[in-house]
C-alpha cells in the first residue's frame, strides 16, 4: 500500500532527567508515495528574545514572526548544549555529547571531528534516496573524512568553523575589534585575545576552497542564493531532499553589510538580526513556491547569546540569570544557565503542522525524522536507537535519555550532573 508514514519525534528531557515525550507529528494518510522534504535552519548564538514572536521588545524579525504565526512556536525549547560543536553534533546524530563524543568546540587546529562511527541524519536520509545539502557553518571537523561531503551531504557550501576563527578583509563588528588579514610576508601581529588572524577564513564548495578570505559582507547573500538554488534543483529532480543551513548570524563578528549602511544609526546587532530574518524569509519563500505542501521547515538556534560581547550579543528575553547572580547566574552561552541554551524554535508545514499555536513542551536535541511505513523504519533509524553501521565506540550505544525504542518503550531516565559556570564580565 502506497502511503506515507512520517514521524517527527522531538524528545525532551529536563536537566534532572525527567521525561517529556513532546511532539509527535504522525501522519498516515495517503500522500501518493511522496516523502517529505526537510529544511533545517540553525542560527548561531541567537537569543530566545531575538525572536519578536517570543519577546515584544524585538521588532526586527518580521519574516520569522510570520513563520511563527503560520506554524508552531516552541517557547521552552532548549539546545542540547550551550556551545557550537556539541549542539550541532547532537542535532545531526540525535545523541548528547556524552554519547556522540563531542563535548567541546573544535578548533582551527583540530585534526578530528564528529566521530566517524556516528551516523548523521544526512547519512540516514541519503541512504533513503534523499538529495542532501548543507550550507553554512559546519564546525564538526574539517579534515579528511570529517568534511560534510563525507558525512552524508551530497552538496556543501560554507565555512568549516565559526567565522571569527579566521581572518578576513572585512572584519566586521566584534569585541575586541580584530584586524584584517596580514598582507604579503608580514609577520603575525601581536593579536588581541580571541582574534584568529593568521589563517584566512576559507569558503568551501564541496571539497574546494572557492574564496579565502571570505568576504563576510556578502556571505549572507551567497547563502541565500545557494539555498534557493539547492531547493530548486532538488525539487525538479523529483527526489525528496534535506537542506541543513547553518547561518553565520548572530555570531560575531557582525558583518558590515549594505543593510547595515542603510540602517545607519541602528545597533549593528539589530541590523544583523534583520539581515538574518531576510535570509530566512528568502528560503521560506522558495519553499513556499516550490514544495510548500511537502516540506517541513524548522528554525532554531544552536545556543544562546554570547553575553560577553555586550551590545553585539542577542537578547535572552527574561532569562537573564540575574536572580541568581550571587551564585554565578548568567545569560551567556557556554554556561548551563537558562539563557545559554534556551533558544527560539519554529516548525512550519502548512496543512500538517498547526498554525499560530505554541507549545510549552521542553525540548532538546533530538530532531529525529523517520520516513517510510513502520515495517520499513529499520533502515532509517538514527543513532538514538542504534546506528545503521556498527559502532566502534567503547560505550555500547543506548537510547538517548527519554527516547523511545522502535517498540515504543521509553528508556529509563538517566541522571546527569550539570555544572554551573561563573558569570564573566563584558569584554
Would you say 287 or 313 has its CB closer to Ca ion? 313
Query: Does residue 302 belong to the site contacting Ca ion (CB under 5 A)?
Result: yes
Q: How far is the CB of 307 from Ca ion (least distance, A)?
A: 12
Query: Using CA atoms in the order 51, 54, 60, 64, what is the torsion angle rounded to 10 degrees?
Result: 60
Tell me whether residue 54 or residue 303 sits nearer to Ca ion (CB atom).
Answer: 303
**Residues 293/351, Cβ–Cβ less than 8 Å:** yes
Is residue 366 annotated as a catalytic residue, yes or no? no
Q: Exactly one of 37, 58, 132, 303 binds Ca ion (CB under 5 A); which one?
A: 303
Q: Which of residues 31-90 bind Ca ion (CB under 5 A)?
A: 44-45, 84
Q: Is 118 in the site for Ca ion (CB under 5 A)?
A: no
Pick from 328, 329, 280, 334: nearest CA to 305: 334
Q: Which is nearer to Ca ion, 84 or 307 (CB)?
A: 84
Residue nearest to Ca ion (CB): 84
Whose Cβ is closer to Ca ion: residue 125's or residue 332's?
332
- Residue 248 CB, nearest approach to Ca ion (Å): 10
Q: How far apart are CA 263 and CA 269, in angstroms?
A: 11
Cβ at position 250, least distance to Ca ion in Å? 9
| Residue 84: active-site member | yes
Choices 124-132, 146-154, 187-195, 294-302; region in contact with Ca ion by CB under 5 A: 294-302
Residue in 139, 175, 249, 251 annotated catalytic: 139
Least Å from the CB of residue 301 to Ca ion: 8
Total number of residues binding Ca ion (CB under 5 A)? 5
Closest to Ca ion by CB, 64 or 91: 91
Q: Is the separation of the CB atoms in 109 and 89 below 8 Å?
A: no
Q: How far is the CB of 179 from Ca ion (least distance, A)?
A: 23
Residue from 78, 84, 167, 181 carrying the catalytic annotation: 84
* Binding footprint of Ca ion on the chain (CB under 5 A): 44-45, 84, 302-303
Which residues are part of the catalytic machinery? Answer: 84, 139
Amino acid at each position: 500500500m502506497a502511503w506515507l508514514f512520517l514521524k517527527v519525534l522531538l524528545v525532551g528531557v529536563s536537566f534532572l532527567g525527567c521525561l517529556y515525550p513532546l511532539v509527535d507529528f504522525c501522519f498516515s494518510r495517503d500522500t501518493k508515495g511522496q516523502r517529505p522534504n526537510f529544511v533545517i535552519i540553525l542560527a548561531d548564538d541567537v537569543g530566545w528574545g531575538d525572536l519578536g514572536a517570543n519577546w515584544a521588545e524585538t521588532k526586527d524579525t518580521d519574516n520569522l514572526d510570520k513563520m511563527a504565526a503560520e506554524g508552531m512556536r516552541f517557547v521552552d525549547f532548549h539546545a542540547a548544549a550551550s556551545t557550537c560543536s556539541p549542539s550541532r553534533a547532537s542535532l545531526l546524530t540525535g545523541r548528547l555529547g556524552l554519547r556522540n563524543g563531542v563535548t567541546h568546540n573544535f578548533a582551527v587546529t583540530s585534526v578530528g571531528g564528529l566521530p566517524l562511527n556516528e551516523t548523521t541524519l544526512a547519512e540516514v536520509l541519503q541512504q533513503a534516496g534523499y538529495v542532501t545539502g548543507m550550507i553554512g557553518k559546519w564546525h564538526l571537523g574539517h579534515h579528511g573524512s570529517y568534511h560534510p561531503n563525507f558525512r552524508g551531504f551530497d552538496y556543501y557550501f560554507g565555512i568549516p568553523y565559526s567565522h571569527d576563527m579566521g581572518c578576513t578583509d572585512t572584519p566586521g563588528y566584534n569585541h575586541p575589534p580584530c584586524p584584517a588579514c596580514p598582507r604579503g610576508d608580514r609577520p603575525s601581529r601581536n593579536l588581541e585575545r580571541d582574534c584568529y588572524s593568521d589563517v584566512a577564513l576559507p569558503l568551501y564548495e564541496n571539497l574546494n576552497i572557492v574564496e579565502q578570505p571570505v568576504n563576510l559582507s556578502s556571505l549572507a547573500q551567497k547563502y541565500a542564493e545557494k539555498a534557493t538554488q539547492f531547493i530548486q534543483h532538488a525539487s525538479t529532480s523529483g527526489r525528496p531532499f534535506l537542506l541543513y543551513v547553518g547561518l553565520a548570524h548572530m555570531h560575531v563578528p557582525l558583518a558590515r553589510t549594505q543593510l547595515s549602511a542603510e540602517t545607519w544609526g541602528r545597533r549593528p546587532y539589530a541590523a544583523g538580526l534583520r539581515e538574518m530574518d531576510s535570509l530566512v524569509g528568502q528560503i521560506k519563500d522558495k519553499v513556499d513556491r516550490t514544495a510548500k505542501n511537502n516540506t517541513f521547515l524548522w528554525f532554531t538556534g544552536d545556543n544562546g547569546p554570547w553575553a560577553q560581547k555586550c551590545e553585539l550579543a542577542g537578547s535572552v528575553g527574561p532569562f537573564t540569570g540575574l536572580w541568581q547572580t550571587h551564585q554565578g547566574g548568567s545569560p551567556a552561552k557556554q554556561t548551563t544557565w537558562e539563557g545559554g541554551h534556551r533558544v527560539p524554535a519554529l516548525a512550519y508545514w502548512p496543512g500538517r503542522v498547526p498554525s499560530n499555536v505554541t507549545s510549552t513542551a521542553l525540548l532538546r536535541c533530538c530532531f529525529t525524522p523517520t520516513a517510510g511505513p513502520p515495517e520499513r523504519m529499520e533502515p532509517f533509524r538514527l543513532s538514538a536507537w542504534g546506528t545503521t553501521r556498527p559502532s566502534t565506540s567503547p560505550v555500547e550505544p543506548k537510547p538517548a535519555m527519554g527516547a523511545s525504542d522502535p517498540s515504543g518503550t521509553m528508556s529509563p531516565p538517566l541522571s546527569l550532573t550539570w555544572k554551573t559556570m561563573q558569570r564573566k564580565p563584558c569584554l
